Amino acid sequence: VTTSFAAPVSSTISSEPNPLPRRQKGLALIVIGTGRIGSELLNQIAVHPRALGGELRVCAIANSRRWIWKRNGLNLRPWTLQIRRSSVRTDLDELIQRTRDLRDVTVAVVDCTASSAVVDAYTRFVEAGAHIVTPNKKANVLPWARYRLLLQSFAQCDRRFLFGPTVGGGLPVLSTLSTLLSTGDTVRAIEGVFSGTLSYLFNRYDGSRPFSALVREAHQLGFTEPDPRVDLSGSDVASKLLVLARQMGIPSELNDICVEDLSTPCLDADIARRFKSVSRDGAVLRYVGRIRDRTISARLESLPRSHPFANTRHADNIVAFHTRRYSETPLVIQGPGAGPEVTAAGVVSELLRLLQS
């Protein structure tokens, strides 16, 4: 078993001609969370040219129970086996100490959990020298005062907080917003369909079956959250809107967002009635999130068939940026915005950004 909590192996520096400490090239990763996204991420890194070339090194893998560690980078091919065989219980304090020990390398903690405990530890990881990369929205939706403090700790330690995959998975949504803002454009509104699940449900619903039957089917196909109410309540959409709004400099809270909750008892009758009504006008139902004039909302809307959002397919996300420069028609990004493969690719994209800068 290669897992070990011994002090950094001295052989790793024995071949160095110069005994002075020097900054090693590349990026050392501490991956926390081995669920669907974390596992897929490790599989993608295992075959990535930058990892095979030694520039991306996974030094630690931790899940809620166990963890494994190797200062110079784990051999990822049998990582599932290694972590299954590990007898070392995960301890965030221990992980933070290891981050500190890696001070001669650039370190990124990749948070692939949905755990508040890990988010609570971000500041200590950052103070220990790590950048944070995550597809987890939990930190972004903290109360504004706490979120500001978190950002301040990143700034003070000159470390980066990269969360591109929190909105749209692998789609270039947050990177596009960032480019618009950094090149001096003014974003007037962002609107779109931000939930793959709700997109799928309203793309398919045709009135022939109860809406709840469609929800059950989507759940069985693995398209919804383990608890579909997280999707239906609009809280997932609200979180994504808050991520975007705060990037735009709007100091909002989750509670400020006006969200239509679809996880109601009389859902089937309600959706059937509304579908019938809009169909008469040749329109469609879409669950639309919107940020405009510092107001953030998410609700079921009736849209004409010619509207771009009416033409989403399968579980597509779609996001339209209305800006000073993109005023006649908006800048639009569309495509699958969830799923482990594209979300993990979004994380890899952030790691490559970190590697380049």
Q: Which residues are catalytic?
A: 240
Residue 12 contacts residue 39 (beta carbons within 8 Å): no
Closest by Cα among 45, 66, 68, 42 to 55: 45
Q: Which is nearer to a second copy, 138 or 290 (CB)?
A: 290
Neighbours of 317 (CB within 10 A): 24
Half-sphere exposure of 157 (CA within 13 A, CB side): 23
Residue 296 contacts residue 257 (beta carbons within 8 Å): yes
Alpha helices per DSSP H over the chain: 11-14, 36-46, 49-52, 79-85, 92-101, 116-120, 122-127, 144-156, 173-182, 196-204, 211-220, 229-232, 235-247, 267-280, 340-356
Q: Which is nearer to a second copy, 184 or 222 (CB)?
A: 184
Q: Is 240 helix (H, G, I), strand (E, B) or coil?
A: helix
Give 170's DSSP letter: T
Q: How far apart are CA 334 and CA 90, in angstroms?
A: 39
Footprint on this chain of a second copy (rule: CB under 8 A): 44, 47-48, 170-172, 175-176, 179, 182-185, 306, 308, 311, 313-316, 325-326, 328-336, 341-342, 345-346, 348-349, 352, 356-357
